[in-house]
Amino acid sequence: MNKQVHDMFPEANHDEQSQQAFLRSFMMHIYERVMPGNDILYKQKVIPEFEKKLGRPPQTRKEVREALGEQPFNQMWGSLMRTSQEMMYHTVRPSIERQMPNLKAKAAKLDNAPGSLKLDPRLEIPKYHTNADIHCKPGGYHTKTDDTDFLAGAEFDRTVNVYFHGKTGPLADDMGLSLASWIKENHPDFDPKSVLDMGCTIGHSSIPYLDVFPGAEVHAIDVAAPCLEYGHYRAKSLGKAVHFSQQNAEKTNYPDGSFDLIVSHILMHETSHKALKNIIEECHRLLKPGGLMIHMDVVGADDPFGQYLCEWNAHYNNEPYMGGLQDEDLGGLYKDAGFPVENFFMKQIESIHLPKTMPEVMKAKRAEGVVIGIGYYTIVGTQKT
């Protein structure tokens, strides 16, 4: 976990490593040993009691959340989940704060490395970011304590490794690498020269497109200045020429038809319904004829229990739009934006790094057609004609 994967990666001393190692083990225990109990509880108790009372099983994610929420076991699981999320920041942030002077000194030595960074201090941060600390991250992803502070970005680089238990690759680039590799394999004649990654955070998912599509120019946008700034230095330390720009994906300053490929990696559930509509319309404006637009996110389950974890996160993990995303008619939004109906697709793709193993109860749910995101991602895409 403390392996130096690039020069800007925040290190951790002995005590910090110990704390983070415990937290990773704690989170894995919750996920692998405690969480599957919800499946058993739902099937063996919640459904029978619900049917006895109303003559039918739960039909909506809200009904599932409310029914499970009455069960002490589910309450315990939820409390552990929220506690582990808050512990992650309480454990990592002091370590990053301790290292900020050193990280700034390292960043100052990278001025001649490739790539670019454009920040816009006048950019209005959307309310769907300012109204809640997303993921329970104190201050969210956009808050700066001073003009040179990129703490939120450095913290993300460390916490994403803790959260995914280091299983998304040494550069935490699994989402971008998995999607870029899928595009390369399934569209062998598609050779994008211009790529836009929307909601890039620190560009961890942006960089793989440079490797999978040599010669492509990669642009990465986000509203969070400290994440972009850290991402810029991070990319420089890796020798990767990513062009970071602080912009709202709803309305960018790029000319019409600027990109062959537009992607995002778990952006959709961080935006409101209105914002998502605007983003898809902006993608249509920015895409060249024949260009691909693919968004990767937590969608696809059409049964209420399959949507439950998204519903829980919306209510208890400061992911206010994750539940609502499950109700979106994404095909309809793509169509309304001008994309051909026949080009729309939603499918699951395999992760490059994440293991495909899962507890037996989760294997059973996947066999029943329930989408469980272990080693798989859902992508929603289309091609502009």
Domain membership flag for residue 6: no
pLDDT at 370 (0 to 100): 40
pLDDT at 367 (0 to 100): 46
Residue positions counted in the chain: 385
Indicate the average pLDDT of the chain.
92
Closest CA to 374 of 81, 35, 83: 35
Domain membership flag for residue 248: yes
pLDDT at 373 (0 to 100): 47
pLDDT at 216 (0 to 100): 97
Domain membership flag for residue 260: yes
Domain membership flag for residue 158: yes
pLDDT at 369 (0 to 100): 40
Distance CA 82, CA 351 (A): 26
Domain membership flag for residue 251: yes
pLDDT at 58 (0 to 100): 97
Angle between helices 308-316 and 72-108 (to 10 degrees): 70
User: pLDDT below 70 — which residues of the chain?
Assistant: 1-4, 355-374
Q: Which two tokens stand for residue 230?
A: 């850290």
pLDDT at 67 (0 to 100): 97
pLDDT at 177 (0 to 100): 97
Domain membership flag for residue 93: no
Cβ proximity of 345 and 381 under 8 Å: yes
Domain membership flag for residue 66: no
pTM of the model: 0.93
Cβ proximity of 198 and 250 under 8 Å: no
Distance CA 19, CA 2 (A): 12
Query: What's the number of domains the chain is made of?
Result: 1
Distance CA 100, CA 321 (A): 32
Provide the residue range defining the domain that includes 199.
Answer: 152-383
117 pairs with which residues across the strands?
244
- How does 299-322 read in b/e, with b if 16+ C-beta sit within 10 Å? bbbebbbbbbbbbbbbebbbbbbb
Domain membership flag for residue 159: yes
Q: What is the CATH number of the domain that holds 326?
A: 3.40.50.150
